[in-house]
Amino acid sequence: STDAVIDDVKSWQNRPLDEVYPIVYLDAIRVKGRQGGHIINKAVYLALAVTMEGQKEVLGMWIAENEGAKFWLSILNGLQNRGVKDIFIACVDGLKGFPEAIEAAYPNTQVQTCIVHMVRHSLNFVAWKERKQMAADLKEIYAAPTEEQARRNLEQFETKWDATHPMVSQSWRRNWERIIPFFNYPPDIRKAIYTTNAIESLNHSLRKVTKNRGAFPDDEAIFKLFYMALRNISKKWTMPIRDWKAALNQFCIFFEGRVPMQN
């Protein structure tokens, strides 16, 4: 029965979590919902984590009434109450108020503009046939060995694309300060952060279930559908993300003293 599903959702949303997650991504999926006779756009936020074992795990989902530091802090406090003591890297998509909130809840967490989101936004600006080329040129930026080289590659990108697609380099420049931490990490950690398919395939699967639906009658209906979809999606998550062992070794060095002892 539907009530049973809602009980499942509630216990899932409140289940205890691990003490440490190396990477947590926050991603938003927009859906249409009814509110007081109107149909409005709602954002469902998902926290997708990579565990110490390199497994993907969705920590929870939330619907934003109004997004800002207070909303994010309530989510982060919720994670703390469920046992999360430390997050190494939080990958977010320019969320207003999030850096302030994470500073308060997890002062040692490195906030990183999500490279996956940056690429996704950028490719929205180009026609299908140019996507591959632009993706390759963007990779020259974020895969550069140093920040200086990345800057130079961004300049080359501008020379090539700005005449036709000026919005793309503008968004990389605007977010540059929050992209930079990425260049401090060794290649194995970068690769782990950038396993696009983790967040992209989740996003894609959830969009598929919401695409052809009208407006949801209420938030409960949204949670139920997402929960059922997540249950199916996560059944496929049997393997650690690629080259996880190498990344984990680097995490141990880079975030020294913060990696829990494996028993």
What SS3 state is found at 51? coil
Distance between CA 90 and CA 111 in Å, rounded?
A: 5
Q: Which two tokens stand for residue 90?
A: 């939080």
Distance between CA 53 and CA 21 in Å, rounded?
A: 10
pLDDT tens readout for residues 141-158: 999 999 999 999 999 999
Q: Whose structure tokens read 């002892």? A: 261
Name the pTM for this structure: 0.89
pLDDT surpassing 70 at residue 2? no
Q: Which two tokens stand for residue 185?
A: 């990490």
What is the CB neighbour count within 10 angstroms for residue 70? 12
Question: Shortest CA distance to 249 belongs to which of 54, 56, 30, 93?
Answer: 54
Q: Which amino acid is at 242?
A: R
Distance between CA 70 and CA 75 in Å, rounded?
A: 9
Enumerate the domain spans of the chain.
Answer: 2-254
Q: Which residues, including other chains, have CB under 8 Å from residue 39's CB and lie 6 or more apart? A: 32, 33, 215
Q: Which two tokens stand for residue 46?
A: 């998902």
* Rg, C-alpha atoms of the chain: 19
When pLDDT is averaged across residues 120-128 and rounded to a whole number, the result is 92
pLDDT tens readout for residues 166-205: 999 999 999 998 898 889 999 899 988 886 566 777 888 8
pLDDT surpassing 80 at residue 258? yes
Q: Kindly report the CA angle at 210 between 207 and 211, in degrees rounded to 5?
A: 75
CA distance readout (Å), 78 to 8, 32, 47, 59, 185: 18, 26, 12, 10, 29
Q: Which amino acid is at 232?
A: N
pLDDT tens readout for residues 51-67: 999 999 999 999 987 78
pLDDT tens readout for residues 16-40: 999 999 999 988 888 999 888 899 9
Q: Which residues, including other chains, have CB under 8 Å from residue 244's CB and lie 6 or more apart? A: 53, 54, 192
Q: Which two tokens stand for residue 53?
A: 């074992």
Question: Shortest CA distance to 64 belongs to which of 35, 38, 105?
Answer: 35
Q: What is the dihedral of CA 61, 191, 119, 151, to 10 degrees?
A: 130
User: What is the pLDDT, as a whole number, of residue 195?
Assistant: 67
When pLDDT is averaged across residues 85-91 and rounded to a whole number, the result is 95
pLDDT surpassing 90 at residue 85? yes
Which is it for the CA torsion 165, 91, 199, 13, positive or negative? Answer: negative
Confidence of residue 262 (pLDDT cuts 50, 70, 90): low
